[in-house]
């Protein structure tokens, strides 16, 4: 995510109960299979790791930091502070490589109804300042994002009515509407745990495996191992250094010249070049991140669903994935659930490039020649303007005159997004289907960027969220996907993979189901070949 992101977007909600966590946690609600699991992991390198060994310094060269960064989780919006946050602090729930919820500081959970949940706080976990973790710390940390707060995680917790302490190690969360995936919802990267009453964000105290040594916002951050981490088989390297490198070429150069061990966010062409060099490994994560061309369903001519369908059939998705993404992505089908997700509706027909069909819908809308303007910028997603140009050429054959208006990167999210009737945007992957649906398709969502409002859809999504029977849930979610694809205002041309690269020294490094760099937790997970 280059530059800033005032899109109050990416609600990292939800995931599901993972299989191991399921056993450990003895979760009582049977059958709530994790929602997002099954996000396939298309790792490029076959893991052939040396045994885990401690020591060494891991150096990450990352895009996503700026001089205004602060280590207060309520301000987290970009990758560098998020990564540092996970070095110093722990979350409530972790999402594993398969996309399932696993216990972190909340070690067990149970729910008899899907509106009332009891969570057990992990015992014998000690903060850097010597305090032992208890329920008060967890409640304080969650409440930082509730009520009168500027935290973008507020929307994730909007469904939470009440959080109550049962005893020193148990809390009870009451929801307004049932959510069978609450544990995965609590995996949001902003829900990091600090001691009760903590406010000194210049030097965060957490339960993480590393302690802050120096932090120069937008330049560099160094953390050092505490030596007494509660997680087994984690925090191997002695120190972690993040160097902020926002320029993509400089990032690759830094890796090649050996100044960093791992870099994030490389493009498909660079990935193909790096793969040819045996000194480097290239990792590809399919996280459900997608590009979207958002049509405002309340403005003309997009008010008419036939116009929307005409545009959906006038774009050549396969060639866009091939040329813009160099193949590092999947064709989209105008709904936010990626293929490979366990609730992906395979019965839904793929929207293909079909100029005749597009013309048919234009005719049905009573339009002979359609002329529309797509507002796009590289800020929306990398390659957005290329997508616009390819769309323009393809649409011309369907009798649609598409203008691509290039918008400046600076101010794109405030001046164009949610204001232009047809503009480019993107969405990060979610750990649950409900997270993906809630973000932009519910009537009440503040980031409903297509102004598509269907009470019937909201009702369906609510039913699905509270449904614990997987088969019934699949049917409900299938109907949701069909509604968005056939009636929605989102033209989703492609799902975009995350690609990261690093030296062969880095071991234990895997693709992730959520974001890149192992869900930004790479620091405590990898080790270095000596």
Partner 1 sequence: MTRLLAERAGLGLLTLLAVSALLFFGTNLLPGDVAAALLGQDATPEALHNIRAALGLEQPAWLRYLHWLGGALHGDFGTSLTSARPVGAQVLPRLGNTLLLASLAALVSVPVAVGLGLLSAMREGGLIDRLVSLLSLVTISVPEFFVGYVLTLVFAVQLGWLPSLAVMHGGMSLAERLAAIALPVATLVIVVLAHMLRMTRSALLAVMSAPYIEMAFLKGLPRGTVVLRHALPNAAAPIIAVVALNLGYLVVGVVVVEAVFVYPGAGQLMVDAVSKRDLPVVQACGLVFAATYVGLNTIADMLAIIVNPRLRRPR
Contact positions vs partner 1 (CB under 8 A):
3-4, 6, 8, 61, 66-70, 150, 214, 216-220, 243-247, 249-250, 253-254, 256-260, 410, 414, 446
Q: Quick one: 72 or 96, whose CB is closer to partner 1?
A: 72
Provide the angle, in degrees to the nearest 10, between the axes of the packed helices 305-312 and 470-487. 100
Q: Are residues 416 and 377 in contact, defined by beta-carbon separation less than 8 angstroms?
A: yes
Q: Quick one: 59 or 236, whose CB is closer to partner 1?
A: 59
CB of 256 to partner 1, least distance (A): 5
Q: Quick one: 244 or 476, whose CB is closer to partner 1?
A: 244
Alpha carbon distance 97, 39 (integer Å)? 9
Q: Quick one: 151 or 432, whose CB is closer to partner 1?
A: 151
Distance of CA 413 to the CA centre of its chain: 18
Q: Quick one: 327 or 411, whose CB is closer to partner 1?
A: 411
User: What DSSP character marks residue 445?
Assistant: -
CB of 274 to partner 1, least distance (A): 13
425 burial via Cβ count (<10 Å: 0-12, 13-18, 19+): buried
CB of 35 to partner 1, least distance (A): 27
CB of 336 to partner 1, least distance (A): 21
CB of 215 to partner 1, least distance (A): 11
Instruction: Give counts: helices (H), strands (E), the chain.
Output: 16, 21
Q: Are residues 271 and 328 in contact, defined by beta-carbon separation less than 8 angstroms?
A: yes
CB of 245 to partner 1, least distance (A): 5
Q: Quick one: 50 or 149, whose CB is closer to partner 1?
A: 149
Tell me phi and psi for residue 62, to 5 degrees. Answer: -125, 145
Alpha carbon distance 134, 509 (integer Å)? 32
Q: Quick one: 30 or 258, whose CB is closer to partner 1?
A: 258
Q: Are residues 499 and 284 in contact, defined by beta-carbon separation less than 8 angstroms?
A: yes
CB of 447 to partner 1, least distance (A): 9
* CA distances in angstroms from 387 to 291, 323, 383, 434, listed in the order given: 10, 9, 6, 28
Q: Are residues 5 and 426 in contact, defined by beta-carbon separation less than 8 angstroms?
A: no
Q: Quick one: 162 or 216, whose CB is closer to partner 1?
A: 216
CB of 259 to partner 1, least distance (A): 5
Sign of CA dihedral 483, 488, 493, 498: negative
Helices (H), 92-202: 135-143, 182-185
């Amino acid at each position: 995510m280059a530059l800033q992101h005032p899109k109050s977007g990416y609600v990292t909600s939800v995931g599901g109960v993972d299989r191991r966590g399921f056993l450990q946690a003895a979760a009582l609600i049977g059958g709530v299979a994790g929602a997002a699991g099954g996000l396939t992991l298309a790792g490029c390198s076959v893991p052939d790791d040396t045994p885990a060994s401690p020591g060494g310094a891991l150096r990450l060269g990352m895009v996503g930091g700026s001089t205004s960064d602060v280590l207060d989780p309520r301000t987290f919006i970009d990758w560098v502070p998020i990564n540092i946050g996970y070095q110093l602090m722990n979350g409530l729930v972790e999402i594993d490589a398969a996309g399932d919820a696993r216990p972190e500081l909340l070690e067990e959970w149970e729910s008899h109804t899907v509106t009332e949940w009891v969570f057990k706080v992990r015992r014998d976990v000690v903060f850097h300042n010597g305090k032992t973790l208890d329920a008060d710390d967890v409640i304080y940390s969650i409440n930082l994002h509730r009520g009168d707060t500027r935290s973008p995680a507020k929307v994730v917790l909007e469904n939470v009515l009440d959080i109550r302490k049962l005893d020193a190690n148990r809390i009870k969360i009451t929801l307004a509407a049932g959510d069978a995936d609450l544990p995965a919802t609590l995996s949001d990267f902003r829900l990091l745990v600090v001691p009760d009453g903590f406010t000194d964000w210049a030097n965060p105290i957490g339960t993480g495996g590393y302690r802050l040594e120096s932090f120069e916002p937008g330049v560099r951050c160094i953390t050092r191992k505490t030596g007494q981490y509660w997680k087994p088989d984690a925090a191997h390297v002695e120190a972690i250094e993040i160097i902020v490198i926002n320029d993509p070429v400089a990032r690759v150069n830094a890796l090649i010249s050996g100044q960093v061990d791992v870099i994030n966010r490389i493009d498909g062409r660079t990935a193909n070049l790096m793969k040819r060099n045996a000194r480097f490994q290239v990792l590809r994560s399919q996280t459900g991140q997608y590009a979207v061309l958002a049509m405002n369903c309340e403005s003309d001519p997009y008010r008419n669903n036939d116009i929307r369908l005409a545009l959906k059939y006038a774009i050549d998705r396969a060639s866009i994935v091939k040329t813009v993404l160099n193949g590092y992505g999947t064709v989209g089908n105008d709904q936010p659930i990626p293929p490979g997700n366990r609730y992906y509706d395979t019965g839904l027909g793929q929207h293909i490039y079909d100029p005749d069909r597009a013309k048919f819908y234009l005719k049905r809308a009573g339009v002979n020649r359609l002329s529309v303007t797509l507002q796009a910028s590289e800020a929306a997603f990398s390659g957005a303007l290329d997508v616009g140009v390819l769309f323009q050429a393809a649409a011309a054959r369907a009798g649609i005159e598409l203008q691509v208006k290039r918008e400046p990167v600076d101010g794109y999210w405030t001046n164009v997004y949610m204001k232009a009737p047809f503009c480019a945007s993107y969405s990060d992957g979610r750990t649950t289907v409900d997270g993906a649906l809630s973000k932009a398709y519910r009537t009440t969502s503040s980031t409903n960027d297509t102004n598509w409002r269907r009470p019937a859809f909201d009702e369906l999504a609510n039913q699905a969220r509270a449904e614990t029977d997987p088969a019934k849930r699949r049917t409900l979610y299938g109907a949701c996907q069909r509604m968005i694809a056939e009636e929605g205002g989102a033209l989703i041309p492609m799902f975009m993979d995350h690609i990261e690269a690093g030296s062969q020294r880095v071991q234990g490094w895997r693709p992730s189901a959520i974001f890149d760099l192992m869900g930004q937790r790479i620091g405590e997970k990898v080790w270095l070949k000596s």
